[in-house]
Amino acid sequence: MKILSRAALPALMLGVSATALTAQMVEPTTPPPAPEFSAQGEPVFVNRSDMFEYRALESYNEPEFVSAFVEAGMLPPVAERLPAEPMVYKAGNMPDGIGDYGGTLRHVIGGRPEGWNYWGGQSQGWGGIDIGMTECLTRTGPLFTINPEDLEPMPNLAKSWEWSDDGMMLTVNLIEGAHWSDGDPFDTEDIDFYWNDIVMNGEVTPLNGATQTTYGEGTTLEIVDDYTFTMTFTTAFPESVLYNFAYGNFCPGPSHVLKPVHPSYSDNTMEQFINAFPPEDMGFPVMGAWVPVEYRADDIIVLRRNPYYWKVDEEGNQLPYLDEVHYRLSTWADRDVQAVAGTGDFSNLEQPENYVESLRRSAEDDAPARLAFGPRTIGYTLYPNLSGNGWGEPDERAQAVRELNRNADFRKGITQAMDRVRLGESLVKGPFTVQYPGGLYAGTSYYDEASTVFYPYSLESARAHFEAAGLADTDGDGFYNWPEGMMDGGNVQITILANTDYQTDRNLAEGVVAMLEEAGIQAALNLLTGNDRDAAQNSGRYDWMVLRNGTSLITVVQNTTELAPVGAQTSLNHRANADGELDLLPWEQEMVDVVNAFIGSRDAAERSELMSQYQRLYTENLYGVGLTAYPGALIINKRFANIPAGAPIFMYNWAEDNIIRERVYVPADAQADHELHPNTLPGDDGPVTAG
């Protein structure tokens, strides 16, 4: 620690000797060991080719009620509704084999739909609804069951791809003859619109956000024919693009309905484009297995099977098996309660406050749902806004906080004010939570403990770092003041942005505020509901935020560009200002270089070494202040079959993707009468019956 040189001047000005300061500071260590917690249920590891293939079958089947639509001339025969070579799921990989048609899957979600324009960045309420409606070029959720030697994104809408010899070009082959749920052909018109008018248009960012640098600076895309396109890169073999072809990043929209209302092809403003498909509008075309047919605000969204879905089982049964899916518009906590009570069918148990009651209820003989804990992949980080050049238009106070955030001593003070044992126990007692330093998760493939720097809890050391950052309690009220001439010398005040839709997020944010106050920093909560919180984060309108981490810190290969400010809009907590300028700190630049080198490398040993460097840069410099991490549990009603063993609630994606819902079924003799629109198919204005 070069504390003498850096802190000497401010310390001497405050009459505290620099040596006294260093005596109070507690050195960083490596992280404390995680309490043993073994996940229940192991995945059955297979190769992707064991799971599915693309193949034409002799004949195809559909639910009886759908045939009535064909007989009434309302639909083409099923063979014409399917691609030449549909995706065929192999029975050998289905835990409970070929399924029965019928049944309803009842999700409960805590989000709310803003509209159907996922490509305009609108949320549909999360909880699996967008994952199910928007299918993407590749798929990664189910990768938790794939053998490490075959670990590469699964083909999905892209059925195959080839690299050029020099690795500078990728040729992508789409599935041929698939249709949107309204019968419109799926082809490279949809790719062209998505790439040129959404991804490369800096004014709009799709939900979960592919941006101009997600596929590498300077990358171009060319359409070759109806089902083929190429991408040309500026570095060789950026294989991470295949992961960024998956959910969230390359999920093309229905260009036949989006293009006519896009600003480049109409008189609409971007705002009008984004809001062109309100949740009340039914019949929005999807590539997913189910299509919205009913929306009642704050009550429910009902979806019915997509008659053009492009996947079948080995006996030629067009999928999905389940005819109807609900998203009850409630709260995330209620999702847990309803799943264990049996009035809902699915939950990712991710809020530890509900663990004890959920475990107790699920242990009873007559419990309606199975509950299985997975690996420790749910984690929270306290992120500083590291922009010093105006991202999010800060006022004088907010700008002053950001200047502090960019000071290593201030960040060290913040992290050493965190008592992570107390934070974890405030959520749940027992072997669940671990003190999380931040950065890559312990127990994951790129984690390297020796590269992980942990700053232990110490109020004394926290205060020493705040003083080394030039702060002093000049009016003796127990809270640090701004230096003379700044903000009228009043107390430093920082705000903590958090998601009010989760008890856990609120508990952690409240704990952070209390601990900062104990260390002499006044903090206030800024609790916003999901969609507003996400918007505040993405526009940089916050000082610090409590954030539940995404997949990038768990798998590294999914959403890799999120790991550092490699592009203007890729980082979680440091994006470019309105002029497109990123004012990276030196160690941030090093992180960017390491992440870019990782993206460009095909050498496993080199990639591991680069991620060790990343981990040291992240945890030593506190790109984020880790708080706590713990295992989640999957809760699913016992009547459902084909649930893959060991499915984690969160890894490459959420369980709503991981369990492959289009293969899930309810055995005929266990189907309950939950259907709200039996024997109907999606129409332009809602559910329609045959004839």
**Interacting span for ligand BQZ (CB under 6 A) from 24-32, 123-131, 583-591, 596-604:** 123-131
Contact between 451 and ligand BQZ per CB under 6 A: no
CB of 544 to Ca ion, least distance (A): 19
Question: Contacts with ligand BQZ in 229-288 (CB under 6 A)?
Answer: none
Number of H helices and E strands in the chain, helices first, is: 22, 24
**From the list 479, 614, 618, 665, which residue makes contact with Ca ion (rule: CB under 5 A)?**
479
Looking at the Cβ atoms of 117 and 348, the one nearer to ligand BQZ is 348
Among residues 557, 550, 502, 510, the alpha carbon closest in space to that of 529 is found at 502
CB of 207 to ligand BQZ, least distance (A): 8
Among residues 592, 458, 615, the alpha carbon closest in space to that of 27 is found at 458
Contact between 600 and ligand BQZ per CB under 6 A: no
Q: How many Cβ atoms from other residues are within 10 Å of residue 19's Cβ?
A: 11
Contact between 530 and ligand BQZ per CB under 6 A: yes
List, as one string, the DSSP characters of 412-429.
HHHHHT--HHHHHHHH--
User: Which single residue brings its beta carbon nearest to ligand BQZ?
Assistant: 126
Contact between 654 and ligand BQZ per CB under 6 A: yes
**From the list 181, 219, 481, 621, which residue makes contact with Ca ion (rule: CB under 5 A)?**
481
CB of 333 to ligand BQZ, least distance (A): 11
DSSP state of 617: H
Looking at the Cβ atoms of 128 and 252, the one nearer to ligand BQZ is 128
Contact between 656 and ligand BQZ per CB under 6 A: yes
Question: Contacts with Ca ion in 483-522 (CB under 5 A)?
Answer: 491
**Interacting span for Ca ion (CB under 5 A) from 158-166, 479-487, 599-607, 619-627:** 479-487
Looking at the Cβ atoms of 468 and 591, the one nearer to Ca ion is 468
Contact between 332 and ligand BQZ per CB under 6 A: yes
**Interacting span for ligand BQZ (CB under 6 A) from 26-34, 126-134, 161-169, 260-268:** 126-134
CA angle 384, 390, 394 (to 5 degrees): 70
**From the list 393, 460, 475, 685, which residue makes contact with Ca ion (rule: CB under 5 A)?**
475
Q: Tokens representing 484?
A: 């003379």
List, as one string, the DSSP characters of 480-517.
PBPPTTSGGG-B-EEEEEEETT-HHHHHHHHHHHHHHH
Please, which residues have CB within 8 angstroms of residue 439's CB and are 6 or more apart in sequence? 452, 553, 614, 615, 618, 619, 623, 624, 626
Q: How many Cβ atoms from other residues are within 10 Å of residue 590's Cβ?
A: 17
Exposure string over 475-509, b if 16+ CB within 10 A, otherwise e: eeeebbbbbeeeeeeebbbbbbbbbbbbbbbbbbb
Q: Are 65 and 691 in contact (CB under 8 A)?
A: no
Contact between 482 and ligand BQZ per CB under 6 A: no
473 binds, among ligand BQZ, Ca ion, none (CB under 5 to 8 A by kind): Ca ion
Alpha-carbon distance of 583 to 587, in angstroms, equals 12
CA angle 618, 620, 625 (to 5 degrees): 65
Contact between 126 and ligand BQZ per CB under 6 A: yes
Sign of CA dihedral 466, 468, 471, 476: positive
614 binds, among ligand BQZ, Ca ion, none (CB under 5 to 8 A by kind): none
Sign of CA dihedral 62, 310, 146, 321: negative
128 binds, among ligand BQZ, Ca ion, none (CB under 5 to 8 A by kind): ligand BQZ
E strand or H helix at 592, and its extent? helix 586-600
Looking at the Cβ atoms of 479 and 654, the one nearer to Ca ion is 479
Contact between 323 and ligand BQZ per CB under 6 A: no
Q: Tokens representing 421?
A: 């044992």
Among residues 384, 459, 383, the alpha carbon closest in space to that of 416 is found at 459
Contact between 28 and ligand BQZ per CB under 6 A: no
CA distances from 374 to 377, 440, 531, 634, 651 (A): 8, 18, 28, 8, 10
Contact between 195 and ligand BQZ per CB under 6 A: no
Contact between 350 and ligand BQZ per CB under 6 A: yes
Contact between 682 and ligand BQZ per CB under 6 A: no
Contact between 612 and Ca ion per CB under 5 A: no
481 binds, among Ca ion, ligand BQZ, none (CB under 5 to 8 A by kind): Ca ion
Looking at the Cβ atoms of 195 and 479, the one nearer to Ca ion is 479
Contact between 473 and Ca ion per CB under 5 A: yes
Q: Which residues bind Ca ion (CB under 5 A)?
A: 473, 475, 477, 479, 481, 491
Q: Which residues bind ligand BQZ (CB under 6 A)?
A: 126-128, 131, 332, 348, 350, 530, 534, 654, 656
